[in-house]
Amino acid sequence: MGRSVLFIICLILGLSLFGQQASDTLESPRTRIQLVQADRLMYNKDFPGPDIQRLLGNVILEHDSMFLHCDSAYLYEKKNSMDAWGNIRIVGSDSLFIYGEELYYDGNTGVAKMRKDVRLEDRQLTLTTDHLDYDLANNLGYYFNGGRIEDTSNVLTSELGYYFADDMEFFFKDSVHLVNPEYTMDSDTLMYHTATEVAFFYGPSFIRSDTNTIYCENGWYDTRRDLAQFNENAILYNSNYSLQGDSLFYDRNRGLGKAFVNVTVADSTQDILIKGHLAEFWEVSENALITDSAHAIHIDNGDSLFLHGDTLRYMGDTASREGKHLMAYYGVKFFRPNIQGSCDSLIYSLQDSVIRMFSKPVLWTENSQLYADYVEFHTAKSRNQKMLLRNNSFMAEADLDSASFNQVKGKNMYGYFRDDRLHKVYVEGNAETVYFVRDEEEALVGINKAASSDLYIYVADKRIERLVFIKEPGSILFPPGQLNPSQRLIDGFTWHDQLRPRSRHDIFRK
């Protein structure tokens, strides 16, 4: 990109000097300027100077198949040049017309310097300015001190402009402003191809519409088809959301944005950021699909939730009954200092702050591990409230010797939090327990195996404090050495500590 910009700068400098360079290097004049018509022709060797013809009224001159019309002119025969005034019209080809009030034309270089109320018309575009230099031999134009371009659907203004007529390209510099019925465009430097109506950006640029604003520092925009590619600090945003990446592709008609590498989708109404290296975003529904190192951050005063999955789908349609929610698939993990989780798929409802976990879900809170066929976790203002474990529910914690585990199994479990910590769990149906009983000195007294229809688990100081059996309890306290390792485990128990994310960075660990 650096070389192309350097080439353009060199080309600009070359164009701005083309008249001087041509006149300095040509050793002999080209074809002569010919008088075709004038109402009056005056010649005086003393006024205004020798070798000068003064032409008045309906003047027409011809040079290299170019015709020039004006009210009056001085024709410098020896220099093969002229000055012209009033109602000037240059016909350069079947499609090129240049109008103005003052003109100096050098027949040796083919350069016309038009001033005051200048208008250039070529095919379906019109250029208006007060200062235009035009190389009629090579179809190259340059305006300065401000100009305005209009075509079938766009109006563009800038301080400097260069027109390559054969290629139908404009190069604009300084305060470039383009107005389209659907949006406006502001840039430091812009190339515009009038035939294709494609604009190329080479500096800080903004595209603003009623629905969004786009910023980039390099890229292109097809104004006819409303397709675009934006690079270098590219971002698309409105008051609610933003999409950014190293590069963006945008289809305005479909309301579809695609971002590549270092992607961030942000919803300011929900304080959520979704990151990855590949994203698709639909404007109307505010839905997004993010893959490749995808992860989400739900921001909340230093207690943010960090979530990773191979694929993240953000459903932002506020008209839906479920409201906005985040769906995660395959290898899902999340981390918050007081709660962590792992599963194969997950739905996070932002409307009611509920996390629903599917396929091998596991939750950890402080020293407790909980899992079931289905897990549902509720928060309010980022504080843990309650949880539901449905079918084949387990709760476990490592005992003090770290090789044994307090375990509770049941059909369903309902967990409740107090001051953001797990306080009580209700086990509903087919409750089984293995509990390591210790005295006040924390010496092991025995191993309690019990069964009951329902029970309550109470947690204090991050550990199971006591079990309260509700219906049909049956309990046996075994001496520590009487049960072998397999008898100390409830059928279906697994310790999933290797899956637990210990930090925000651990959510990517397989």
List beta partners, residue 368. Answer: 365
Question: Which range has the worst mean pLDDT, 89-93, 147-151, 262-266, 274-278?
Answer: 89-93
CATH node for 373-510: 2.60.450
Ramachandran sector of residue 391 (left: φ over 0; alpha: ψ -120 to 50; beta: rest)? left
Measure the CA–CA gap between 55 and 129, rounded to whole angstroms: 26
**So what's the pLDDT on residue 137?**
83
Dihedral angle over CA of 181, 187, 191, 193, nearest 10: 0
Q: Is the pLDDT at 8 greater than 50, yes or no?
A: no
> In angstroms, how far apart are the furthest CA atoms of the chain?
134
The band of 23, judged by pLDDT with boundaries at 50, 70 and 90, is very low
pLDDT at 15 over 50: no
Give backbone dihedrals phi and psi of 279, rounded to 5 degrees, phi first. -145, 145
Q: Which of 183-187, 223-227, 298-302, 431-435 has the lowest mean pLDDT?
A: 298-302
**Residue 21 confidence (pLDDT):** 41
pLDDT tops 70 at residue 481: yes
* Token duo for residue 307: 């979530």
Q: Which residue in the block uniquely carries the two structure tokens 């040796």?
A: 108
Domain boundaries, the chain: 1-145, 238-360, 373-510
* Residue 86 clears pLDDT 70, i.e. is over it: yes
Angle of CA points 481, 486, 488, to nearest 5°: 55
| Residue bearing tokens 């208006």 | 128
Q: What is the pLDDT of residue 49?
A: 66
In angstroms, the CA 324 to CA 413 distance is: 27
d(CA 62, CA 234): 51
Q: How much is the pLDDT for 180?
A: 87
Q: Which residue has the tokens 């596991």?
A: 362
Question: For 461, which DSSP code?
Answer: T
Looking at the predicted structure, is the pLDDT value of residue 7 above 50? no
Homologous superfamily of 238-360 in CATH?
Answer: Lipopolysaccharide (LPS) transport protein A like domain (2.60.450.10)
How far is residue 223's CA from residue 9's CA, in Å, rounded to a whole number?
A: 25
pLDDT of residue 505: 93
User: Which region among 60-74, 122-136, 460-474 has the lowest average model confidence (pLDDT)?
Assistant: 460-474
pLDDT of residue 376 exceeding 70, the answer is yes
Cis peptide before 48 (omega within 30 of 0): yes
Confirm if 242 and 264 have CB atoms less than 8 A apart.
yes
pLDDT per residue over 166-192, tens digit each?
888 889 999 999 898 888 999 999 998
Please name the residue that has the structure tokens 């590219």. 234
Mean pLDDT for the chain overall: 87
Q: What per-residue confidence (pLDDT) applies to 439?
A: 83
Percent of the chain with pLDDT over 90: 58
The answer to whether residue 292 scores a pLDDT higher than 60 is yes
Contact between 376 and 357 under an 8 Å Cβ cutoff? The reply is: yes
Contact 108, 22 (CB under 8 A): yes
What's the rounded mean pLDDT across residues 443-453? 90
* pLDDT value, residue 9: 38
Q: What's the pLDDT score for residue 318?
A: 58
Give me the pLDDT at residue 50, please.
67
pLDDT-derived band of residue 370, with 50, 70 and 90 as boundaries?
Answer: very high
In angstroms, what CA-CA distances link 128 with 114, 199, 228, 469? 11, 19, 28, 90
- Which is more confident, 317 or 88? 88
Residue pair 368/362 in contact (Cβ under 8 Å)? The answer is no
Predicted pLDDT of residue 404: 87
Is residue 16 pLDDT above 80, yes or no? Answer: no
Of residues 16 and 271, the one with the higher pLDDT is 271
Domain 238-360 shares a fold with domain 373-510: yes
Checking if the pLDDT of 412 tops 80, the result is: yes
Q: Residue 508 carries which DSSP code?
A: G
293-296 own/partner pairs: CB under 8 Å, 24+ apart: 293/508, 295/507, 295/508, 296/272, 296/326, 296/328, 296/348
Domain 1-145 fold:
lipopolysaccharide transport protein A fold (2.60.450)
Residue with tokens 């585990």: 405
> Is the distance from CB of 97 to CB of 120 less than 8 angstroms?
yes
Phi, psi of 123 (to 5 degrees): 60, -115
pLDDT of res. 138: 86
Q: What mean pLDDT comes out for the span 45-55?
A: 75
